[in-house]
Amino acid sequence: MKANYYYFAKRAQKRCSFPLILISIFALVLFLKLISSLFFTTFSNNSDTNPLGDALRKSYPFPELPRFAYLISGSKGDSGKLKRLLQAVYHPRNSYLLHLDLEASDDERLELAKFVKSEAVIREFRSVMVVGKANLVTLKGPTTISSLLHGVAILLKQAPNWDWFINLSASDYPLMPQDDILHIFSFLPRDLNFLEHTSDLGWKEFQRARPIIIDSGLYHVKKSGVFWAKEKRSIPASFKLFTGSTGVVLTRSFLEFCIWGWDNLPRTLLLYYTNFLSSHEGYFHTLLCNHKDYQNTTVNHDLHYVRWDEPRKENPTNLTIEHFDDMVQSGAVFGHRFGHDSRILDKIDKEILRRSAGLFVPGGWCLGNPGSGKDPCIIYGNPDVIKPSERAKRLEALVMKLLDSENFRSKQCK
């Protein structure tokens, strides 16, 4: 299935080079402290009808809003979750690629494509694509990173005007509106990569790094898991292994390097991780931390709220209503992972996103009344208009903590 994509608005702000990152970070901290008490009311980047926005623009040089490219992935039976997730994270400034893997039926993919085509707002802004020729994805195998890189390549080709890439699964859900995220990220250097990472492999050395596995999904069209070789391998000496989160927020610059690879490291690591269990927990982390141009751009947090099982912390537990307050206070952008209990998602929709069932999250671009019972985004205006809420202050606090001089350097690629 071939999907057409058109992008809109002017060219994104040029990425700053790394020597300016630390200066930008310190300026960011001071700047956010200065304006945080003023800003969290209605603000428009390009509005002639917002007196407060006009006054602030005369006093402060507000940066250009960023754009995000989302890859939202699912499997058999996840089409409903992908629809709901798309509506919860949709903003016309962003680009979206939806992928149901080969285990899902063609009918599910067709249903998802019809849904995208049926939404008037999506048709107008043409910012959502659906993968028609699905990839086979084995959860623990390298086909996961292969599918992810395929999605990145599509977004680079079809949606060239974005700053950060975010991968979400059907079990993820946002914990704040897009307006809040766009606002806070507009003050960040465009070369920061967010992902949890460490070189302390722990138990993963013997259950991830040393075993040799073969993913049948690389050779067959039906999923059958991974096969284990009898032999073990040693830890590589030419590069240092890192591991971490499956959720990432990565820059366009870094991902262009991954796809186009103007030196050999991305290809070398792809060959190594072909036989690595859960390669998506290490590929980006190892590549970032072993390349001099990117190892100092990492922020050791993936902006997800996750609860891990005890004591090994190998698998995330399902988030429930009892985790709600802690999630909100964390300042995280997304929650991972949500099970089949929709009560927690309903609570997030009602109390955080102000989203009614089956509708988009209202934002500054929506001109309708969110409390009217009708879709407030049927009537829409300038996509550059944002209305950050008070909850954005929690993300601001989290980012300021992560970029504090005592945390930022000391937690990079260690």
**Alpha carbon distance 191, 277 (integer Å):** 29
Residue 61 within a domain? no
**How many other β-carbons are positioned within 10 Å of the β-carbon of residue 32?**
18
Looking at the domain assignment, is residue 369 inside a domain? Answer: yes
Ordered DSSP codes for 67-113: -EEEEEEE-TT-HHHHHHHHHHH--TTSEEEEEE-TTS-HHHHHHHH
Instruction: Tell me the two tokens of residue 33.
Output: 């402290």
Assess if residue 295 is contained within a domain. Answer: yes
In a domain, 209, yes or no: no
Number of Cβ within a 10 Å radius of residue 33 = 11
Amino acid at 234: S
Task: Say how many domains are in the chain.
Answer: 1
What is the domain-level CATH number for residue 328?
3.90.550
Backbone dihedral angles phi then psi of residue 229, each to the nearest 5 degrees = -85, 155
Q: Does residue 82 fall inside a structural domain?
A: yes
pLDDT of residue 319: 95
Sequential DSSP letters for 292-349: TTTTTSEES--SEE--B-TTT--SBPPB-GGGHHHHHHHT-SEEE-B-S-THHHHHHI
Residue 144 φ then ψ, to 5°: -65, -50
- How confident is the prediction along the chain (414 residues), in pLDDT tens digits per residue? 333 333 223 333 333 344 444 444 444 444 444 444 333 333 334 333 333 333 333 434 578 999 999 999 999 999 999 999 999 999 999 999 999 999 999 999 999 999 999 999 999 999 999 999 999 998 889 999 999 999 999 999 999 799 999 999 999 999 999 999 999 999 999 999 999 999 999 889 998 899 999 888 787 777 777 888 889 999 999 999 999 999 999 999 999 999 998 899 999 999 999 999 999 999 999 999 999 999 999 999 999 999 987 666 678 899 999 999 999 999 999 999 998 888 999 999 999 999 999 999 999 999 988 767 788 998 999 999 999 999 899 999 999 999 998 889 899 998
Give the dihedral sign, CA 170/173/177/183.
Answer: negative
- Residue 311 pLDDT: 63
Say which residue the tokens 């926005």 belong to.
53
Q: What does the DSSP 8-state code read for residue 30?
A: H
Inside any domain, residue 340: yes
Name which of 12, 42, 351 is nearest 185 in CA terms: 12
CA distance 215 to 351: 42
**Domain span including residue 375:** 68-199+244-408
219 lies in a domain?
no
205 is a domain residue: no
From the list 302, 389, 320, the residue with the least C-alpha distance to 352 is 389
Cβ atoms of 266 and 287 within 8 Å: the answer is yes
Joined tokens for residue 317: 């537990």
Amino acid at 73: S
